[in-house]
Structure 1
Amino acid sequence: MGRGKIEIKRIENSTNRQVTFSKRRNGIMKKAKEISVLCDAQVSLVIFSSLGKMFEYCSPSTSLSKMLEKYQQNSGKKLWDAKHENLSAEIDRIKKENDNMQIELRHLKGEDLNSLNPKELIPIEEALQNGLAGVRDKQSDFLKMLKKKERMLEEENKRLTYLLHHQQLAMEGSMRELDIGYQKDREYAPPPMPMTFRVQPIQPNLQGNK
């Protein structure tokens, strides 16, 4: 007795719906991998659950973006609007510009020069000369700044030495004035009082009179 035909309609029970989604998703993923391996086909599969969770599979030999480009070319349908196309073109332009800058940087470092002809080497040489001139100008400005600071420090040192010398002279002058004033005070001071001695009477020898 064969299986009865199952009516394809939305499963109302959320638990049963989730179980069915999980089983059938795994089955589809398995079939996609099998056809990719067995038939050497390029397969890309994207599934979104009812909650918005994404599941995807893509053959190892390709990528989802390449598959979408192929789909757009073969179906004639535009998957991207003009805004996205312009953005993609701008990204490609920036990538190409970045690659060219990387090549120029290697050339300026003296790398990968064998593939260049003499005419292509001329602008590289000019760029290096201009860069060297700029470095020398920067070094010259730096040396001038150092010399200016050195002169300022020398002037400041001279000024401090001058102030210190005059402070020492002022201190020495003050000490001399104090010494002169002390000498003058000694000249006009009254003479010291003479020392007086009191003569004690000689006591008779009492033992001699006995």
Structure 2
Amino acid sequence: MARGKIQIKKIENQTNRQVTYSKRRNGLFKKANELAVLCDATVSVVMISSSNKLHEFHSPGITPKEIYDRYQNIMGVDLWVKQYQQMQEELKKLNETNRNLQKEIRQRMGDCLEDLTFNELLGLGEDVENSVKLIRERKDIPKEEPHYGLVDNGEYNHVLGYDDDNRILALRLQPCQPNLHAGAGTGSCVTYTLL
């Protein structure tokens, strides 16, 4: 029994569309393989599904690059010229940016100043002065020492010393408290360093 012809148009049902794609893709790849084997032809089929999945078939024993190279030779075109030119332009821009940055660094180090105008020299001088000022401000900021609180009321209390990261450095007992290591009754102040 012969099947009736179907109308060639987009299949609206997504599940049916996926099934049809898969079946017809396999059929197409089977025919491409038969053509390559029977006729000693070089065959390449590249398909991208609506869900952006890549499927491809290439004749046995040949790579996609070899097929593209043969295509370019036969057609007399270069598929990569445009991309190569764009890459060359991008490389030129990056090289120019690199040269400018290197020149700016040398100028800040005191070299290559003959190329600068008077106003550019003044601006460079201001930049150097601002940098020196900022460095001095950072250098002169005093670091807080670990602090130990005092207990005036004579009650048992401990005081903790902290470092810059709020880690406990030491535990200090007040002079009015007994030394725990020496036994009760001694009134010396003891600081225990914590590890």
TM-score after normalising by structure 1: 0.38
Structure having the higher strand fraction is: 2
**Computing the radius of gyration over CA atoms, which structure comes out larger, 1 or 2?**
1
Structure having the higher helix fraction is: 1
TM-score after normalising by structure 2: 0.40
